[in-house]
């Protein structure tokens, strides 16, 4: 997290500096700061689209739109939502364990054949009959070693953990998209600096070419300027390529159609406040420990794991169930020959009547107790205790991580404030230095090398000033992320 925030311009500033140094300097005869000094603003606000003429059909994306799109379509969020749905179903199932179950069964049988009965007097029976039967049974658990209660608490804790994890995933997505968005914005600023620099180099090259023709400048100055103009063209090509690449990375995070042309809206960057807003670091740490959704989610998982130990221990206790049911049966004899004598009644109730009137009700209590299960329950308890211990360790690690995140964010914020101040001073000094050297070059008091060196310093100062303001804006969001107060917008 620190590397991406502290070095948000990434290769932009590094390659810019190396390119300039390799060719002596970056030149521009009338370079001014192309990065506007931002007005004081705590939040990031879209003010206008980039001034370059967009391709017809281009979709301009604002930062809130990007964040909302990513939250709706990001893989991490989609998976977190699936987990929320599953844990919700698990919680409902755990609640239903307190209710009795209800089972129904029915059968219809056609039977024909000859049977020899020996239970009383030996008898031959030849029969053809139809039989219908239905049953309703219900079981209500009265006691099972608190397994249902602990299961309910465990599922409830996991449900809360899933919701908190989803919320934290949205916060992380919002921060990641903000970072990617600001990177594209910074790339655009670097492109603007390079475009101004290249235009100035070309104008100077034409001026020196004219001066060499009349003999007021040497050919060496012209050749050096031509080389510098070529280097500026290469720098601009690289800057534009980086801008397109970083925009592509942003669009991939959003999971949108990459064949559609996109552009981003310009942003107003934040500036450091006159008074340091985080004087009480302890209060900020306590706020993070209270509001960080991922820490609370881990604590809920540890709580669920402790309840799982109670569930595992229920195997040591008996189970007591209240059981009830009813059974209805009906039989129609089509043929009944007993020792050669027809035994079919003259009249028989209908099947429907028998099933409605011949009903048997039963209710009872049963007790089951596994007295020896070959240490299966003990093994289950040991595994549950191990999981509970591991989750407690993870919870403590997450607590320490939260404290570290806040301290790191504060350190980076302080560094960003100092970098903005230093970059603004450096830009002012570089501009004054260039103006002075340019005037001296016009009257022949400075060489082309001195002028190009001053221009190189000015271009790098402009890039550093843009980077500092972008990094500071991101650091404000980083503190919100570290304390758990980052909004989704």
Q: What is the pLDDT of residue 28?
A: 34
**Separation between Cα atoms, residue 36 and residue 269, nearest integer Å:** 10
Q: Which residues pair with 325 in a beta bridge?
A: 137, 362
Query: Where does the pLDDT of residue 122 fall: very low under 50, low under 70, confident under 90, or very high at 90 and above?
Result: confident
Helices 376-442 and 448-483, packing angle to 10 deg = 150
**Cβ-contact 95, 153 below 8 angstroms:** no
pLDDT tens track for 424-480: 999 999 999 999 999 998 888 888 899 999 999 999 999 999 999 999 999 999 999
**Cβ-contact 138, 100 below 8 angstroms:** yes
pLDDT tens track for 48-104: 335 455 667 889 999 999 999 999 998 899 999 999 999 999 999 999 999 999 999
The alpha carbon of residue 353 and the mean position of all alpha carbons in its chain are separated, in whole angstroms, by 64
Nearest Cα neighbor of 166 from 82, 44, 285 is 82
Alpha carbon distance, N-terminus to C-terminus of the chain: 20
pLDDT tens track for 378-432: 999 999 999 999 999 999 999 999 999 999 999 999 999 999 999 999 999 999 9
Q: What is the pLDDT of residue 283?
A: 94
pLDDT tens track for 312-324: 999 999 999 999 9
Q: Can you name the CATH fold of 2-93+147-310+402-483?
A: Outer membrane efflux proteins (OEP) (1.20.1600)
CB-hemisphere CA count at 13 Å for 167?
Answer: 18
Q: What is the pLDDT of residue 489?
A: 57
Burial of 352 (0-12, 13-18, 19+ CB in 10 A): exposed
**Cβ-contact 264, 35 below 8 angstroms:** no
Residue 73 dihedral angles phi and psi, to the nearest 5°: -120, -5
Helix/strand/coil (H/E/C) assignment for every residue in the chain: CHHHHHCCCCHHHHHHHHHHHHCCCCCCCCCCCCCCCCCCCCCCEEEEECCCCCCCCCEEECHHHHHHHHHHHCHHHHHHHHHHHHHHHHHHHHHHCCCCCCEEEEEEEEEEEEEEECCCCCEEEEEEEEEEEEEEEEEEEEECCCHHHHHHHHHHHHHHHHHHHHHHHHHHHHHHHHHHHHHHHHHHHHHHHHHHHHHHHHHHHHHHHHHHHHCCCCHHHHHHHHHHHHHHHHHHHHHHHHHHHHHHHHHHHHCCCCCCCEEEEEEECCCCCCCCCCCCHHHHHHHHHHHCHHHHHHHHHHHHHHHHHHHHHHHHCCEEEEEEEEEEEEEEEEEEEECCEECCCCCCCCHHHHHHHCEEEEEEEEEECCCCCCCHHHHHHHHHHHHHHHHHHHHHHHHHHHHHHHHHHHHHHHHHHHHHHHHHHHHHHHHHHHHHHHHHHHCCCCCHHHHHHHHHHHHHHHHHHHHHHHHHHHHHHHHHHHHCCCCCC
Which single residue is written with the structure tokens 């063209």? 233
pLDDT at 482 over 90: yes
Q: Residue ranges per domain, the chain?
A: 2-93+147-310+402-483
pLDDT tens track for 249-294: 999 999 998 888 999 998 889 999 989 999 899 999 999 999 999 9
């Amino acid at each position: 997290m620190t590397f991406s925030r502290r070095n948000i311009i990434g290769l932009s500033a590094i390659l810019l500096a190396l390119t300039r140094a390799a060719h002596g300097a970056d030149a521009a005869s009338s370079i001014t700061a192309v990065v506007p000094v931002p007005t004081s603003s705590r939040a990031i606000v879209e003010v206008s689209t980039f001034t370059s003429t967009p391709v017809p059909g281009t979709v301009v994306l604002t930062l809130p739109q990007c964040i909302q799109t990513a939250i709706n379509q990001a893989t991490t969020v989609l998976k977190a939502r699936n987990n929320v749905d599953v844990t919700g179903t698990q919680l409902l199932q755990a609640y239903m364990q307190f209710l009795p179950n209800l089972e129904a069964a029915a059968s219809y049988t056609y039977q024909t054949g000859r049977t020899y009965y020996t239970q009383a007097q030996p008898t031959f029976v030849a029969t053809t009959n139809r039989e219908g039967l239905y049953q309703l049974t219900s079981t209500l658990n009265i006691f099972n070693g608190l397994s249902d209660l602990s299961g309910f608490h465990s599922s409830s804790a996991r449900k809360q953990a899933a919701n908190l994890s989803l919320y934290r995933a949205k916060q992380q997505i919002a921060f990641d998209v903000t970072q990617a968005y600001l990177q594209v914005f910074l790339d655009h600023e670097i492109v603007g600096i390079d475009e101004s620099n290249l235009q100035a180099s070309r104008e100077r090259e034409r001026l020196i070419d004219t001066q060499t023709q009349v003999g007021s400048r040497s050919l060496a100055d012209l050749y050096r300027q031509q080389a510098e103009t070529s280097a500026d063209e290469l720098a601009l090509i690289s800057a534009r390529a980086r801008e397109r690449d970083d925009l592509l990375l942003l669009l991939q995070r959003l999971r949108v159609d990459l064949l559609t042309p996109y552009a981003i809206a310009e942003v107003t960057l934040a500036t450091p406040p006159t008074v340091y807003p985080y004087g009480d670091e302890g209060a900020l740490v306590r706020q993070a420990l209270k509001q960080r959704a991922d820490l609370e989610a881990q604590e809920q998982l540890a709580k669920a794991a402790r309840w799982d130990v109670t569930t595992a221990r229920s195997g040591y206790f008996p189970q007591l169930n209240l059981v009830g049911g009813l059974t209805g049966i009906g039989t129609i004899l089509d043929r009944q020959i007993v020792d050669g004598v027809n035994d079919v009644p003259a009249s028989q109730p209908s099947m429907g009547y028998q099933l409605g009137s011949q009903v048997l009700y039963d209710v009872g209590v049963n007790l089951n107790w596994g007295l020896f299960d070959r240490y299966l329950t003990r093994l289950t308890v040991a595994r549950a205790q191990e999981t509970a211990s591991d989750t407690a360790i993870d919870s403590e690690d997450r607590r320490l991580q939260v404290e570290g995140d806040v301290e790191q964010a504060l350190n980076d914020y302080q560094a960003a404030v100092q970098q903005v101040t230093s970059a603004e001073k450096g830009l002012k000094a570089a501009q004054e230095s260039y103006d002075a050297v340019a005037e001296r070059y016009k009257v022949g008091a400075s060489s082309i090398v001195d002028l190009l060196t001053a221009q190189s310093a000015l271009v790098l100062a402009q890039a550093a000033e843009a980077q500092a303001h972008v990094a500071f804006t991101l650091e404000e969001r980083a503190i919100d992320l570290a304390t758990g107060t980052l909004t989704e917008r």
